[in-house]
Amino acid sequence: MNLFFQQIINGLTLGSIYGLVALGLTLVYGILHIPNFAHGALYMVGAFMSYFFMTDLGVHYWIAMAGSAAVVAVLAILCERLVFHPLRNSPPIHDKIAAIGVLLFLEAVVQMFWGSDFRRLSSPFTGIMNFDGLIIPEQRLLIIVGAFTLVIALQLFLRKTMTGATIIAMAQSREGAFLVGIDANRVAMMTFAISGVLAAVAASLYAPINLVYPAMGHLVIMKAFVIIILGGMGSIPGAIAGGMIIGFAEAFGGFYISTAYKDIIAFGLLVLILSVRPQGLFAKGAH
Amino acid sequence: MLFKLGSLLMKPGAKMALLAFAMVFPFLAANEYQVYVMASAFVWAIAVYGLNIITGYCGQLNLAHGGFFAIGAYTLGLLTADAGWSFWPAFVAALVMTAVLGFFVGIVSLRLKEHYFAIFTLCVGFIIYLLIDKWEELTHGPIGVRDIAAPSGFGLVDFTQTTPFYYLVLAFLVFSIWFVGRLSRSLLGRTFIAIRNGDELAQSLGINLMRNKVLAFVLSTTYAGLAGALYAGMVRFIGPEEANINHTFDMITYLLVGGIGTLTGPLLGTVSIVWITQSLQFLEEYRMIIFGPLLVILVIFFPRGITGQYLTWMHQKAQSLAPGKKQKASKVQTASAREAENNA
Amino acid sequence: MLKVEHLTKMFGGLAAVNDVSVDFEAGKINAIIGPNGAGKSTFFNLISGLHQPTSGRILLDGVDVTHMPCDQVARLGVGRTFQTTNLFEQATVLDNLIVGHRLRTRSGLWDVLINSKRLQREEKAARDKAMEALEFVGLSGVAGQFIADITQEERKRVAFALALATDPKIVLLDEPAAGVNPEETEGFAALMRKMVDHGLTVCLIEHKMDMIMSLADRIMVLDHGEKIAEGTPEEVRNNPVVIEAYLGGDEDAAA
């Protein structure tokens, strides 16, 4: 029973991380129609920034996370301004290649400063919480709670603030948004910034129970793409739900079936679903 | 300098000169290592020609290309090292394997539009890597495959030596380029280009999307497999690293630099970057720091690569003949355009 | 020659085309007009096979093409232009048109490999056809120019030529005169009359009323996916239902 419960916690943990990363990705794709292959690199930089702030600057975990989020947000905005904005009218293939260029660059820079070794990020939450026999490691609980808090905060931001409303307007109808005078550039930068923050926080939350290394974003980003294809481009609930599905599938599949091949689960699902429905699970209308 | 090189290639007779140069290169080279480098550049160029078919002419960004290269390498490697086959039968098997796998991946993935196809192939590439790394009973896992056979020679020709191998690769390269050249000028090649210009328009012209896309895909994976098999026969020892996504990114860079969708692009891009990387060995660690922004800059400012820039430059030169002479200009243009198009 | 029966297309809960029935006569210029969003382009997509209808039938010269894929419909003789045509900018005009004849050819990979007689024959035929189409639209002079260098009006003519190169029986033209001046518009109208004179059936979507009224033999009016009127230009011009659809209100209020 306890083992089963552990897998549920694992599933929730993984699902929270995947959901956060997928959320950032789906926002950028849904609103700007850019598949940001560099999103995994943003995630990785987020982890390294937290590592840097904590180990090299000796700062507390929370502050390191906030600092990391700020840095990655700025980085994301730079990507948008310098790379994707000039390419907005080019054929879609250029977007993708440019994103790959950014990805390669960021990984190389990080590798230059920190090498390709694995590093550990320590967090103050190393304890274990015991709820009447049910054991939950503190960090995992933090991840789950943190992820849900962020998602709720994001939803509130999008629905209750003016800025959030402009983002939703752009997502629903670009022309309509222009007609009412919404500044597309501001929305683009904000969307990227938000996606950066989500990635950085997810990485910083996950790093203590995982390893930090330059290629850490590869797997996560691919799974995030799988999730947003399954959950629907631009759909926030889809990203969360999809994240949870993959998270649980991996936790249970990895434990009960095979640990070596657990990464394939997400892709196997993708292959299966796209073979049957090439437009993804939740395709809207004609496009 | 690269620009001048590109412009030289366009002139008629340049092809012959280039071939002649390639044939005497081993005697011009300073040492055997340089011949080896050129030979590996040729191997990668073959793979990039394949990428050009699906991504350049047909317009579908295939991120699994490196994976098929690895499948070609591993098919050859495992058949010769484990099953004791000799090189050439294993070589044919590698081609068949990549073609067949390409077909199955193609019929599933090419129904996907645009971004989904790129994402899907990214995942396929990763699955290939994962399988090679984890399926130890078949692939030896991270240990890799050693003692792969070199191409079986004949008479005095021994392909374990660098120079004979160089000529072997050159022969395959010439054939590859010849075939892509024929393809791009034919009705079939034009069909691929029509698909690149737009799915809907292509369909309205009576073009069967799936049949043609899958054909382009299978051709490209076979090229990748061919290159991979040659690579395995050259280095004689391979590991899961061959399936790393970085190889795909490298090939995309070569293609973009040389000129996507052109005939000289893949060769030009691959050879120049391989040699530049060689001469700047000390910058090896910073390779991606340069490549990354290079890709971005290329895609924003020079999306058509060296070859494309040359064509644009030539075209602008023809255009800049005084507007009053528009009739004459169009005649000049026709001739140079046809020439450029035939050679590019 | 093109018979549409109770054609309906639903996207989600919305009917983009709702129970439209119409007969397009051979050798005539048929126009489809209607306010924006009326479903005209969707209607074309349904006929040419890019979308599958939810219900209804489409008959081309008696053949049921309702569920046929787009490339097959093209082969049966339906040519099409789009509002925006993507051409290969860095190739010549003639080069862009050669692929127009592709659907009548059978050469494949093997032919390319061995440079078969069939391939050579078909490529020559395609080139001839391209030249023929180019002459028809009056652009033989720019055959050797790059697409990037010709004018907007010439590009639209190239799009026409591309559709003509497929040897169609009927051409569907989606806003052919959009973005060109009155003189050029008249040129296109003449071109369409020329197509009809050569035995083609023309079906066009347009917003330019002057052009439509003087050019079309029959007009069909769509609004919100439904056919609200049909007839000669004279009949449609004076139809109060049509006037209301365009003005969206009481015509007296305009006075």
Chain C residues 86-105 within an 8 A CB cutoff of chain B: 86-88, 90-92, 95, 98-100, 102-103, 105
Q: CA of C86: which chain A residue's CA is closest? A: A91
- Percent above pLDDT 90 for chain C: 21
Q: CA of A285: which chain C residue's CA is closest? A: C11
Task: Quote the tokens at residue C201.
Answer: 């059936």
Chain C residues 27-66 within an 8 A CB cutoff of chain A: 51
Task: Quote the tokens at residue C2.
Answer: 């093109």
Q: Would the CB atoms of C112 and B182 count as touching at under 8 Å?
A: yes
Q: CA of B190: which chain C residue's CA is closest? A: C99
Task: Quote the tokens at residue C37.
Answer: 């969003």
Which residues does residue B154 pair with via DSSP β-bridges, in sequence order?
Answer: B157
User: B with C: how many residue pairs have Cβ under 8 Å apart?
Assistant: 112
Identify the residue among B133, B197, B288, B298 best suited for mutation to test binding to A, counting A beta carbons within 10 A and taking the highest.
B288
pLDDT band at B11 (very low <50, low <70, confident <90, very high): low
Q: Would the CB atoms of A102 and B285 count as touching at under 8 Å?
A: no
A275 contacts on B by Cβ (under 8 Å): 108
| Residue in A86, A97, A105 closest to B293 by CB | A105
Q: In angstroms, rounded to a whole number, what is the distance separating the alpha carbons of residues A286 and A284? A: 7
Q: At residue B72, does pLDDT exceed 80?
A: yes
A264 contacts on B by Cβ (under 8 Å): 127, 130
Spatial CA neighbour of A172 closest among A234, A254, A252, A263: A234
Identity at B31, one-letter amino acid code:
N
Q: Would the CB atoms of B207 and C103 count as touching at under 8 Å?
A: yes
Spatial CA neighbour of B65 closest among B77, B74, B78, B52: B52
Helix (H, G, I), strand (E, B) or coil at A136: strand
Q: Would the CB atoms of B204 and C88 count as touching at under 8 Å?
A: no
| Phi-psi domain of C49 (left: phi exceeds 0; alpha: psi -120 through 50; beta: other) | left
Q: How close C214 comes to chain B (CA, Å)? A: 29
Residue B327: CB atoms within 10 A of its CB come to: 9
Q: In angstroms, rounded to a whole number, what is the distance separating the alpha carbons of residues C137 and C159? A: 10
B292 to chain A, any CB pair closer than 8 A? The answer is: yes
Residue B52: CB atoms within 10 A of its CB come to: 27
At CA B50, angle to CA B11 and CA B170, rounded to 5?
60
Read off the pLDDT of each residue in B313-322 and give the average, rounded to a whole number: 72
Phi, psi (deg, nearest 5) at residue B83? -95, 0
Q: Would the CB atoms of C95 and B341 count as touching at under 8 Å?
A: yes
Q: For chain A, what is the largest distance between any 2 Cα atoms, rounded to a whole number of angstroms?
A: 59
A286 to chain C, any CB pair closer than 8 A? The answer is: yes
Residue A96: which H helix or E strand, with range? helix A92-114
Q: CA of C16: which chain A residue's CA is closest? A: A286
Q: Which of B47-51, B222-226, C55-59 has the lowest mean pLDDT?
A: C55-59
A181 to chain C, any CB pair closer than 8 A? The answer is: no
Q: At residue B45, does pLDDT exceed 70?
A: yes
Which residues does residue A134 pair with via DSSP β-bridges, in sequence order?
Answer: A131
Q: At residue B323, does pLDDT exceed 90?
A: no
In this prediction, residue C254 carries a pLDDT of: 39
Identify the residue among B113, B184, B187 best suited for mutation to test binding to C, counting C beta carbons within 10 A and taking the highest.
B187
Read off the pLDDT of each residue in B187-214 and give the average, rounded to a whole number: 91
Q: CA of A287: which chain C residue's CA is closest? A: C11
Question: Environment class of residue B133 by beta-carbon count within 10 Å: exposed (0-12), middle (13-18) or buried (19+)?
Answer: middle
A214 contacts on B by Cβ (under 8 Å): none
pLDDT band at B342 (very low <50, low <70, confident <90, very high): very low
Q: What sign for the dihedral angle of Cα A41, A47, A48, A53?
A: positive
pLDDT band at B191 (very low <50, low <70, confident <90, very high): very high
In this prediction, residue C255 carries a pLDDT of: 38
Q: At residue B330, does pLDDT exceed 50?
A: no
Q: CA of C9: which chain A residue's CA is closest? A: A286
Q: In angstroms, rounded to a whole number, what is the distance separating the alpha carbons of residues B130 and A174? A: 40
B256 contacts on A by Cβ (under 8 Å): 97
Helix (H, G, I), strand (E, B) or coil at B158: coil
In this prediction, residue B9 carries a pLDDT of: 53
Q: How close B47 comes to chain C (CA, Å)? A: 19
Q: CA of B327: which chain C residue's CA is closest? A: C141
3 state SS for chain C: CEEEEEEEEEECCEEEEEEEEEEECCCCEEEEECCCCCCHHHHHHHHHCCCCCCEEEEEECCEECCCCCHHHHHHCCEEEECCCCCCCCCCEHHHHHHHHHHHHCCCCHHHHHHCCHHHHHHHHHHHHHHHHHHHHCCCHHHCCCEHHHCCHHHHHHHHHHHHHHCCCCEEEEECCCCCCCHHHHHHHHHHHHHHHHCCCEEEEECCCHHHHHHHCCEEEEEECCEEEEEECHHHHHCCHHHHHHHHCCCHHHHC
Identity at C37, one-letter amino acid code:
G
B118 contacts on A by Cβ (under 8 Å): 35, 96
Q: Would the CB atoms of C48 and B194 count as touching at under 8 Å?
A: no
A285 to chain C, any CB pair closer than 8 A? The answer is: yes
Residue A158: CB atoms within 10 A of its CB come to: 18
In this prediction, residue B24 carries a pLDDT of: 86
Q: In angstroms, rounded to a whole number, what is the distance separating the alpha carbons of residues C163 and B203? A: 12
Residue A134: which H helix or E strand, with range? strand A134-137
Angle of the B32-51 helix axis to the B162-185 helix axis, nearest 10: 20
> Cβ distance B169 to B42 under 8 Å?
yes
In this prediction, residue B321 carries a pLDDT of: 63
Interface partners of B (3+ CB pairs, < 8 Å)? A, C
Q: How far is CA B38 from the centre of its chain?
A: 15
In this prediction, residue A120 carries a pLDDT of: 84
Q: How close A283 comes to chain C (CA, Å)? A: 10
Identity at B79, one-letter amino acid code:
L
Render pLDDT for A75-120 as a digit per residue (tens, 0 to 9).
999 999 999 998 888 888 888 889 999 998 998 899 888 888 888 8
Helix (H, G, I), strand (E, B) or coil at A130: strand
Which residues of chain C carry a pLDDT beneath 70? 247-255
| Residue in B59, B113, B296 closest to A101 by CB | B296
Task: Quote the tokens at residue A175.
Answer: 């022309």
In this prediction, residue C252 carries a pLDDT of: 43
Residue B4: CB atoms within 10 A of its CB come to: 9
| Residue in B59, B116, B295 closest to A93 by CB | B59
Q: Would the CB atoms of B190 and C102 count as touching at under 8 Å?
A: yes
Q: How close A151 comes to chain B (CA, Å)? A: 25
Task: Quote the tokens at residue B16.
Answer: 């012959």
**DSSP codes of every residue in B267-306:** HHHHHHHHHHHHHTGGGGGGHHHHHHHHHHHHHHH-TTHH
B127 to chain A, any CB pair closer than 8 A? The answer is: yes
Q: CA of C77: which chain B residue's CA is closest? A: B206
Identify the residue among C9, C10, C11 best suited for mutation to test binding to A, counting A beta carbons within 10 A and taking the highest.
C11
Interface partners of C (3+ CB pairs, < 8 Å)? A, B
pTM for the structure as a whole: 0.87
Q: CA of C42: which chain A residue's CA is closest? A: A286
Q: For chain C, what is the largest distance between any 2 Cα atoms, rounded to a whole number of angstroms?
A: 74
Q: In angstroms, rounded to a whole number, what is the distance separating the alpha carbons of residues A175 and B271? A: 46
A91 to chain C, any CB pair closer than 8 A? The answer is: no
Establish how many alpha carbons lie within 13 A of residue A179's alpha carbon, considering only the half-sphere containing its beta carbon. Answer: 6
Q: Would the CB atoms of A222 and B123 count as touching at under 8 Å?
A: yes
B193 to chain A, any CB pair closer than 8 A? The answer is: no
A285 contacts on C by Cβ (under 8 Å): 11-12
B249 contacts on A by Cβ (under 8 Å): 100, 104
Q: In angstroms, rounded to a whole number, what is the distance separating the alpha carbons of residues A164 and A191? A: 10
C113 to chain B, any CB pair closer than 8 A? The answer is: yes
pLDDT band at B306 (very low <50, low <70, confident <90, very high): confident
Q: In angstroms, rounded to a whole number, what is the distance separating the alpha carbons of residues A21 and A42? A: 10
DSSP 8-state code for residue A128: E
Which residues of chain A carry a pLDDT beneath 70? 1, 133, 174-175, 280-287
